[in-house]
Amino acid sequence: MGQYIAPLRDMQFVMHELLHVEDELKQLPAHAEIDADIINQVLEEGGKFTSQVLFPLNHSGDREGCHYDKETRSVTTPKGFKEAYKQYVEAGWPALSCDPEFGGQGLPLVMNNSFYEMLNSSNQAWTMYPGLSHGAYECIHAHGTPEQQALYLPKLVAGEWTGTMCLTESHCGTDLGLLRTKAEPQADGSYHITGSKIFISAGEQDITSNIIHLVLARLPDAPQGSKGISLFIVPKFLPNADGTLGARNPITCGAIEEKMGIHGNSTCQMNLDGATGWLIGEPHKGLNAMFVFMNAARLGVGMQGLGLTEVAYQNALVYAKDRIQMRSLSGVKAPDKPADPIIVHPDVRRMLLTAKAYAEGGRAFCSYVALQLDKELNHPDEEVSKEAADEVALLTPIIKAFITDNAWIATSECMQVYGGHGFIAEWGMEQYVRDARINMIYEGTNTIQSLDLLGRKILMDNGAKLRKFGEKIQAFVEDNGSNEAMSEFIEPLADIAVKVQKLTMEIGMKAFQNKDEVGAAAVPYLRVVGHMVYAYFFAQMAKIALEKQDSGDKFYVSKLATARFYFAKLLPETAMLIRQARAGSASLMALDADLF
């Protein structure tokens, strides 16, 4: 079913030529010994594993799905998933970026991030089993007691156990302040937890011996709303002090959801009937502790969108070069054939270049943010660490929402390249569209991400974080403004940066009078800012490509053409989006609910 080849050349371009990752890591004591050879070797091995082991299971896993046994309340994953996970563990992939204190390899997140792009390109549904474990690891690593860390982290790092996050309930959705799951304290310091959770990815499976659920629940004295939520570790099997498995905990799967996509992953309804759990962090501060998990998941979902964009593009490109249909409008291009390959047609090229640009822009953006995460966690200068943390906070909702929106666009365009064949399951393209759709919904819908960006990350600090990022753009514009060859990139970049600044001020002023103005503007606003970020990275990539376009390496010719397409065909979307954001809330809120 199609193909997937890890885009190693572009990953290496981003790492070594755009971001100069090796030089950046030398400033971080934990990663100072990492060089380009190590980075390339890890990426190459990751490419082999994902293309040879995981990709062949993607289509079959989607067609087979997961199976639920009502009698045992157990889930069987699709054929081959368990064996692939065993190979994943034996190769040491779960430990890649984890703390060596708990058995990890201690490699930088920017490398792990690229590996996860490959995983998601090759098989998003499978990747969600180990992927959520990283969030559980980060949460326990940040907020667990030393005893909890010693018991759970080595097993998660080794891949022996996986993790989940049990957040929402049927009546909650994103509003977790409404949750009803209860936690009753016990004399031994544990808690008995009772309630029901829904939409729990990988909540039950047959690939590992234990599952560590992180569960949000309320203590008896909890205040109402989100300020009354606590976080608990609730394992499927209660571990003994030596890490061996003890009694089965009464947290069980009541059903698996029938879904539009990601069929190979078990999305579970989980029931807790007095299940034993242990508090993580402080009482009533569970949402704060869970944000470590949620932010990791949001970055991970952005990588899901990027992975699907890349694999859809690769397969659509192969098809467009092979499929013959009609003649080119400007004259015959394949006289030896009865028709021309469809890649000669302008609109087919538009669809392909849309996916190509969104993949390459997303790769540069995600790698940059992962590098900032490495700085936040490891830089010895507290000021540098703080600045990196602020930038990660600003950019995380953009990664989650902008990249997944773009993946929906890109996978749809790539399916369109196939014409009627794209709608047929045997070609595999319609699966990418179905799988891409969930990424816009879970881990906080893209509307929630937009509200977070505009309301919390920007307006709440009067735009301080955004201004700092804008200063980087302004410095790049000033450094390259006199370079005539760069004018086609610098001028639109400078223009969108100014427009973002003005739009932000305008919305902020309106919000003083009416908070609904934020809700009305947030979604188009995030896309405007997302395009500004992409324009910044594409301008940097174009500069490198301009300098090397005559080197004989056609990679730079392609990179330059993609950058030109982005500025000519995709960035102009911002004109419409700015008008939408400025249109305000009046037309949205004027109609009484009973008149809809």
DSSP string, 92-150: TGGGTTS-GGGT-----HHHHHHHHHHHHHHHHHHHHHHHHHHHHHHHHHHHS-HHHHH
**Residue 273, strand partner residues:** 194
pLDDT at 50 over 90: yes
DSSP code of 481? T
Q: Pick from 310, 271, 259: which is nearest to 125 by CA? A: 259
Q: What is the mean pLDDT of residues 527-548?
A: 98
Q: Cα separation of 359 and 312, whole Å?
A: 10
Tell the burial category of 490 from Cβ atoms under 10 Å away from its Cβ (0-12, 13-18, 19+): buried
Whether the Cβ atoms of residue 39 and residue 21 lie closer than 8 Å to each other: yes
Q: What is the mean pLDDT of residues 517-545?
A: 98
Q: What is the mean pLDDT of residues 412-423?
A: 98
Give the type of residue at 451: L
Predicted confidence at residue 32, as pLDDT, reads 97
Predicted confidence at residue 178, as pLDDT, reads 86
**Residue 76, strand partner residues:** 67
pLDDT at 292 over 80: no
Q: For the chain, give the percent of residues with pLDDT over 70.
A: 100
pLDDT at 552 over 90: yes
Neighbour tally for 2: CB within 10 Å:
18
Query: Which residue intervals of 144-251 are DSSP H helices?
Result: 146-158
Q: If pLDDT is split at 50, 70 and 90, which confidence band does 372 have?
A: very high
Q: If pLDDT is split at 50, 70 and 90, which confidence band does 175 have?
A: confident
Q: What is the mean pLDDT of residues 35-54?
A: 98
Q: What is the mean pLDDT of residues 547-571?
A: 98
Point out the catalytic residue in the list 310, 360, 443, 517: 443
- How large is the greatest C-alpha to C-alpha distance in the chain, in angstroms? 84
Q: What is the mean pLDDT of residues 180-200?
A: 97
Give the CA distances from residue 148 to residues 16, 105, 280, 388, in Å, rounded to whole numbers and listed in that order. Answer: 38, 20, 9, 29
Predicted confidence at residue 322, as pLDDT, reads 97
Predicted confidence at residue 135, as pLDDT, reads 87
Q: What is the mean pLDDT of residues 59-73?
A: 97
Predicted confidence at residue 177, as pLDDT, reads 77
Predicted confidence at residue 244, as pLDDT, reads 95
pLDDT at 287 over 90: no
Q: For the chain, give the percent of residues with pLDDT over 90.
A: 94
Tell the burial category of 88 from Cβ atoms under 10 Å away from its Cβ (0-12, 13-18, 19+): buried
Query: Which residue intervals of 227-345 are DSSP H helices?
Result: 286-322
Cβ density class 353-372: b for 16+ within 10 Å, e for less: bbbbbbbbbbbbbbbbbbbb
Q: Pick from 117, 115, 121: which is nearest to 88 by CA? A: 115
Q: Pick from 130, 118, 131, 123: which is nearest to 61 by CA? A: 123
- What is the overall mean pLDDT for the chain? 96
Q: What is the pTM of this model?
A: 0.97
Tell the burial category of 555 from Cβ atoms under 10 Å away from its Cβ (0-12, 13-18, 19+): middle
225 or 266, greater pLDDT: 266
Q: Residue 424 is encoded by which pair of tokens?
A: 């047929």
Predicted confidence at residue 171, as pLDDT, reads 87
pLDDT at 293 over 80: no
Whether the Cβ atoms of residue 500 and residue 518 lie closer than 8 Å to each other: no
Q: Cα separation of 249 and 166, whole Å?
A: 15
Q: What is the pLDDT of residues 110-160, one digit of tens each?
A: 999 999 999 999 999 999 999 989 889 999 999 999 999 999 999 999 999
Q: If pLDDT is split at 50, 70 and 90, which confidence band does 297 have?
A: confident
DSSP structure string for 370-401: HHHHHHHHH-SSHHHHHHHHHHHHHHHHHHHH
Q: What is the mean pLDDT of residues 437-457?
A: 96
Q: Any catalytic annotation for residue 443? A: yes
Q: If pLDDT is split at 50, 70 and 90, which confidence band does 559 have?
A: very high
Q: What is the mean pLDDT of residues 232-244?
A: 95
Q: Residue 391 is encoded by which pair of tokens?
A: 């930038």
* CB-based contacts of 274, cutoff 8 Å, min separation 6: 192, 193, 194, 250
Helix/strand number for the chain, H first, E second: 18, 11
Neighbour tally for 218: CB within 10 Å:
20
Question: In degrees, to the nearest 5, what angle opens at C-alpha 268 toward C-alphas 448 and 288?
Answer: 40
Predicted confidence at residue 291, as pLDDT, reads 77
pLDDT at 318 over 90: yes
Q: Cα separation of 202 and 81, whole Å?
A: 12
